[in-house]
Amino acid sequence: MTMETKPMSFQQLINGDKPVVVDFFAEWCGPCKMMKPILDEFKGMVGDRATVIKIDVDKNPAAAQAYGVRGVPTLAIFKNGQVVWRKSGVISAAQLQSVLQPFV
Protein backbone atom coordinates (compact mmCIF):
# COMPACT_ATOMS: atom_id res chain seq x y z
CA MET A 1 0.00 0.00 0.00
CA THR A 2 2.67 2.51 0.96
CA MET A 3 4.75 3.90 -1.84
CA GLU A 4 6.92 6.94 -2.23
CA THR A 5 5.95 8.93 -5.28
CA LYS A 6 7.90 11.30 -7.44
CA PRO A 7 6.06 14.47 -8.62
CA MET A 8 5.67 13.21 -12.20
CA SER A 9 4.28 9.79 -11.29
CA PHE A 10 2.09 11.41 -8.62
CA GLN A 11 0.62 13.73 -11.27
CA GLN A 12 0.00 10.81 -13.60
CA LEU A 13 -1.65 8.87 -10.79
CA ILE A 14 -4.03 11.63 -9.63
CA ASN A 15 -4.99 12.55 -13.21
CA GLY A 16 -6.61 9.14 -13.74
CA ASP A 17 -10.28 8.24 -13.54
CA LYS A 18 -9.69 5.94 -10.54
CA PRO A 19 -9.97 7.78 -7.21
CA VAL A 20 -6.69 8.21 -5.33
CA VAL A 21 -6.77 8.58 -1.55
CA VAL A 22 -3.69 10.49 -0.42
CA ASP A 23 -2.53 10.53 3.19
CA PHE A 24 -0.25 13.52 3.74
CA PHE A 25 1.69 12.54 6.88
CA ALA A 26 4.90 13.01 8.88
CA GLU A 27 6.97 10.34 10.63
CA TRP A 28 6.97 12.30 13.93
CA CYS A 29 3.17 12.74 13.99
CA GLY A 30 1.28 10.59 16.53
CA PRO A 31 -2.14 10.82 14.85
CA CYS A 32 -0.46 9.96 11.52
CA LYS A 33 0.77 6.69 13.05
CA MET A 34 -2.83 5.96 14.07
CA MET A 35 -3.89 6.29 10.41
CA LYS A 36 -1.68 3.45 9.11
CA PRO A 37 -3.81 0.52 10.38
CA ILE A 38 -6.97 2.48 9.47
CA LEU A 39 -5.72 2.92 5.89
CA ASP A 40 -4.76 -0.77 5.74
CA GLU A 41 -8.31 -1.68 6.80
CA PHE A 42 -9.77 0.82 4.32
CA LYS A 43 -7.67 -0.61 1.48
CA GLY A 44 -9.03 -4.05 2.33
CA MET A 45 -12.58 -2.68 2.14
CA VAL A 46 -12.25 -0.92 -1.23
CA GLY A 47 -9.81 -3.27 -2.96
CA ASP A 48 -8.75 -1.99 -6.37
CA ARG A 49 -11.63 0.49 -6.71
CA ALA A 50 -9.29 3.16 -5.31
CA THR A 51 -5.55 3.70 -4.97
CA VAL A 52 -4.20 4.59 -1.53
CA ILE A 53 -0.86 6.35 -1.16
CA LYS A 54 1.03 8.11 1.60
CA ILE A 55 3.12 11.25 1.09
CA ASP A 56 5.63 12.29 3.74
CA VAL A 57 5.35 16.08 3.92
CA ASP A 58 8.90 16.38 5.29
CA LYS A 59 10.34 14.50 2.29
CA ASN A 60 7.94 16.12 -0.22
CA PRO A 61 7.40 19.71 0.95
CA ALA A 62 6.54 20.85 -2.59
CA ALA A 63 3.57 18.47 -2.71
CA ALA A 64 2.37 19.64 0.69
CA GLN A 65 2.70 23.27 -0.36
CA ALA A 66 1.01 22.69 -3.72
CA TYR A 67 -2.10 21.34 -1.99
CA GLY A 68 -2.06 23.71 0.98
CA VAL A 69 -1.38 21.01 3.57
CA ARG A 70 -0.71 22.82 6.83
CA GLY A 71 -1.48 20.04 9.30
CA VAL A 72 -0.97 16.30 9.36
CA PRO A 73 -2.55 13.93 8.85
CA THR A 74 -4.47 15.45 5.95
CA LEU A 75 -6.42 13.05 3.75
CA ALA A 76 -7.46 14.00 0.24
CA ILE A 77 -9.29 12.19 -2.53
CA PHE A 78 -8.19 13.03 -6.07
CA LYS A 79 -10.10 12.13 -9.22
CA ASN A 80 -9.27 13.32 -12.73
CA GLY A 81 -6.58 15.61 -11.31
CA GLN A 82 -8.94 17.43 -8.95
CA VAL A 83 -9.24 17.32 -5.16
CA VAL A 84 -12.82 16.13 -4.70
CA TRP A 85 -12.66 15.75 -0.90
CA ARG A 86 -10.25 16.71 1.88
CA LYS A 87 -10.07 16.49 5.67
CA SER A 88 -7.42 16.97 8.32
CA GLY A 89 -7.24 14.63 11.29
CA VAL A 90 -7.91 10.97 11.97
CA ILE A 91 -10.94 9.38 10.30
CA SER A 92 -12.24 5.80 10.55
CA ALA A 93 -12.06 3.34 7.67
CA ALA A 94 -15.88 3.20 7.53
CA GLN A 95 -16.14 7.01 7.34
CA LEU A 96 -13.50 7.09 4.61
CA GLN A 97 -15.30 4.38 2.64
CA SER A 98 -18.54 6.35 2.92
CA VAL A 99 -16.85 9.53 1.66
CA LEU A 100 -15.22 7.65 -1.23
CA GLN A 101 -18.45 5.99 -2.43
CA PRO A 102 -19.68 8.78 -4.77
CA PHE A 103 -16.30 8.85 -6.57
CA VAL A 104 -15.89 5.15 -7.44
Q: Give catalytic status of residue 32 as yes or no.
A: yes
CA distances from 35 to 24, 26, 40, 62, 81 (A): 10, 11, 9, 22, 24
Q: Give catalytic status of residue 29 as yes or no.
A: yes
Set 22, 32, 39, 55: catalytic member: 32
CB-count exposure of residue 23 (10 Å: 0-12, 13-18, 19+): buried
Omega of the bond prior to 73 within 30 degrees of 0, cis?
yes
Set 13, 18, 26, 29: catalytic member: 29
E-assigned strands of the chain? Answer: 20-25, 51-56, 74-79, 82-88
Q: Which residues are catalytic?
A: 29, 32
